[in-house]
Amino acid sequence: MMKHLKEFRLEDDSNLEVGDVIKADFFTEGEKVDVTGTSKGKGYAGVVKRFGQGRTPTSHGGGPVHRHAGSMGSSTDPSRIFPGKKQAGHMGVEQVTVQNLDIVKVDAELNLIAIRGAVPGPKGSIVYLKNTVKTQPVKKGEGAGISVNPQKASARVNPQKASARTK
C-alpha cells in the first residue's frame, strides 16, 4: 500500500496528536465533499480540442488548415500577441476541484470511501477530500414544494389564465 503525507488545516485540532492517521471513518455517508485531484493528461492539443474553437470551412479552397488557429491578432501595432491568448499547447495535468459530491458509502474495514460524481484524475491517482464550501439552502415552510419556474408560477398568480381555471 502506498503512503502519502499531506498537511491539512483543521478548525478544532485539540483531539488530534502529531503523527495521528486520519482514516475513512472521518467522513460519514450522505455528507457533501469537495474532491481535489490532478486531471488526466491529454498531451499537446490544438485549439479545437483544447478550447473548443471552430474550424475553417472545409470546401472551396480552404487548404489543409481546417483545424488551425487562424488569425492571431494585430499586425504592426502592438507587434505581439498578448499573454493569455488561446493557442495550441499542453492540455490536462492541472489541479481540478469538483465541488458538492455525495459520499455514498464509507467502509472503515477496508479504509475506502465511495463517492458519486466526477472525481478528477486517472484511476489510482491521489485525491484530497474536504468538507464542501458550498451549502445547499433547505427550503422550509410554505414555499418548499413550489417550483421557481416563472412559467409555472404564472398560473398560480394569474387566476384568469386558462390553465389556472382548469384546476
pLDDT of residue 11: 78
Q: Chain centroid to CA 166: how far?
A: 43
pLDDT of residue 150: 65
| Cα–Cα dist 110/25, whole Å | 10
Please give the model's pTM, rounded to 2 decimal places.
0.70
CATH of span 24-53+86-137: 2.40.30.10
* Alpha helices by DSSP H, 5-84: 47-51
β-strand partners of 49: none
Burial of 29 from C-beta contacts in 10 A (0-12 / 13-18 / 19+): exposed
- Show the cell assigned to 25: 471513518
| Cα–Cα dist 89/83, whole Å | 14
pLDDT along the chain (167 residues), means of 10: 75 80 89 95 95 91 88 85 93 96 95 95 93 80 65 60 60
pLDDT of residue 148: 66
Task: Decide: 106 and 25 in contact? Cβ < 8 Å.
Answer: yes
